[in-house]
Amino acid sequence: MHRRTIAPGALAAASLLLAIPASAATYSPGAPGIGDPYYPMYGNGGYDVSHYDLRLAYRPSTDELQGTATIQARATQDLSRFDLDFLLDVSEVRVNGARAAFTSSGEHELVVTPKNPLAKGTPVTVVVRYHGVPSTKSAYGFNTWHRTADGAVAADEPEAAWWWFPSNDHPRDKATYDVSVAVPDGTQALSNGTLQSTVSQRGWTRYNWRQDKPQATYLATLAIGRFDITTGTSEGGVPVINAYSRNLGANDGAARASVERTGELVDWLSGYFGPYPFSSAGGYVPATTTGYALETQTRVYYSPKQFAAGSNTSVVVHELAHQWYGDDVSLKGWKDIWLNEGFARYAQWLWSEHEGEGTTQELADYVYASHPADDAFWTVKPGDPGPENQFELPVYDRGALAIQALRNAVGDRAFFAVLKGWPKQHAYGNASVADFEKYAEKVSGKRLGTLFDTWLFQPSKPAAPAARAAAVAPAVAVRMAVRGGRAPGATFRRISPGAGTTRTQTLLQR
């Protein structure tokens, strides 16, 4: 208004410049990666997502997925354009209501250029309409979408989201989710959190799931198929929803004998880790051919193979422990994976002790004694294993050994205070190994730099075992042999020589 009254002339040029967004020159593209050195292109820069609303429809017969994602975010810089991570075919993108230009780039980037640049700090609504056949899409030569005889499953780590929704795909950007999935009548659709409602019409049933607590993208899961769904409430009051494929064959009994104990095990773990952080718990067992389990938030993914030797409560304890260590408190960078896997393994050791199948100290002694000093096992640093070793045995077993060493150094009182205090300290957030070290020092009042360096960051076998005497190891070994190799501390079987799914091989090659 004021400008209009200024006479033409030298000042006019200046006011013209002002008519362009004052700082147009400072609007720049968001980075194509969030800045994780292990995975430079994962996640994106320039915005922070608070909520994903996914409205989907899926046809099991053809593997066709169609969806509309409405993403609530906030710009964290003056943005001229930004990326999402996604592989399916996009037909339309709108930003704050206006049609936006979009193109794909790199292995999994959807590049969005909004009509109007986005000022730092402002709320942004992004609508992405899409469709595609997830099983036909790959990035870096792999595909983690699992088709089954009656549907499909999205559950993988770190890459799962690209095949079913556009996202800022890194655990540092957590958000809440509403996932609504329409499937043909008679088929079920599962996701995280609580089932708000189901609606049937025109031969399709829509399942409306809600995750009301922040969730990392790799912890979002989708499962479609014919499931038997069970519901209940734990003694401590946590609602439990589990699901079993109708095609589990001989593994059906053992799967149920394990996963139906979810409520009991959530309550038991609460004794160590504090109140369960989410509004529901549970797991599902689809008829997939993979070997692993995954801690998908509130709704754990289990491969049927986990139950091939009979009931396996140890894997249930592992995945439920992740609900505190990994899901509630998520890693800041993928190098911090010890905060997930070391603690989930240690929880299995605690369960083993509870079950009279070896104490945590016995298992630590056994792991220590099982790997001679020249074993490559000791060259992996659990505190910074590198992407190629992120899910290898040392992160789990040497990682749990480090936790036993910490316990022995600070004493049980401080140790269990740390175990329970940590999820509270960083509830629904992110933290690093360095943050954990600081926290353990604060709670214990001890300097722990040398201990952490020795057990987590040296590429060699620590001289001083967490163990007292390696002499106890043989007894434990015998007990494990008797159990047919299904050692309580050895649930994780996916990465073993020859376990090679295509994807595993690719991961190892990277």
Q: Is 341 in the site for ligand TRP (CB under 6 A)?
A: yes
Based on the shown chain and the rule CB under 5 A, indicate whether residue 344 belongs to the binding site for Zn ion.
Answer: yes
CB of 169 to ligand TRP, least distance (A): 14
392 contact choice in Zn ion, ligand TRP, none (CB below 5 to 8 Å, kind-dependent): none
- Buried b or exposed e, range 439-477, using 16+ CB within 10 angstroms: bbbebbeeebeebbeebbeeeebbeebbbeeeebbeebe
Q: Which among 71-79, 278-286, 290-298, 451-459 is the span making contact with ligand TRP, rule CB under 6 A? A: 290-298
Per-residue binding string, ligand TRP, 18-57, x by CB under 6 A, is ----------------------------------------
Q: Does 336 bind ligand TRP (CB under 6 A)?
A: no
294 binds, among ligand TRP, Zn ion, none (CB under 5 to 8 A by kind): ligand TRP
Pairing of strands 145-148, 98-99: unpaired
Min separation Cβ 303 and ligand TRP, Å: 9
To the nearest 10°, report the CA torsion of 485, 489, 490, 492: 150
Is 492 near ligand TRP (CB under 6 A)? yes
Which region, judged by CB under 6 A, interacts with ligand TRP, from 240-248, 260-268, 288-296, 424-432?
A: 288-296
402 binds Zn ion (CB under 5 A): no
164: left (phi over 0), alpha (psi -120 to 50) or beta: alpha
Helix (H) or strand (E) holding 59: strand 47-59
DSSP E strands, 135-238: 145-148, 151-154, 175-184, 188-190, 194-201, 204-215, 222-225, 227-233
> How many C-beta neighbours within 10 Å does residue 260 have?
17
402 binds ligand TRP (CB under 6 A): no
436's contact among Zn ion, ligand TRP, none, with CB below 5 to 8 A by partner kind, is none
Residues whose CB falls within 8 Å of the CB of residue 371, separated by 6 or more in sequence, listed in order:
377, 378, 461
Which of 195, 294, 339, 395 touches ligand TRP (CB under 6 A)? Answer: 294
Angle between helix axes 313-324 and 338-354 (nearest 10 degrees) is: 130
Residues in the chain: 510
Give the closest residue to 308 by CA, choosing from 368, 254, 270: 254
Question: By beta-carbon distance, which residue lies closest to Zn ion?
Answer: 344
Among 83, 252, 295, 357, binds ligand TRP (CB under 6 A): 295
Per CB under 6 A, 292 contacts ligand TRP: yes
Only one of the segments 75-83, 181-189, 286-294, 364-372 lies at the binding site for ligand TRP (rule: CB under 6 A); that segment is: 286-294
Binding site for ligand TRP (CB under 6 A): 156-157, 292-295, 318-319, 341, 391, 492
Binding site for Zn ion (CB under 5 A): 341, 344
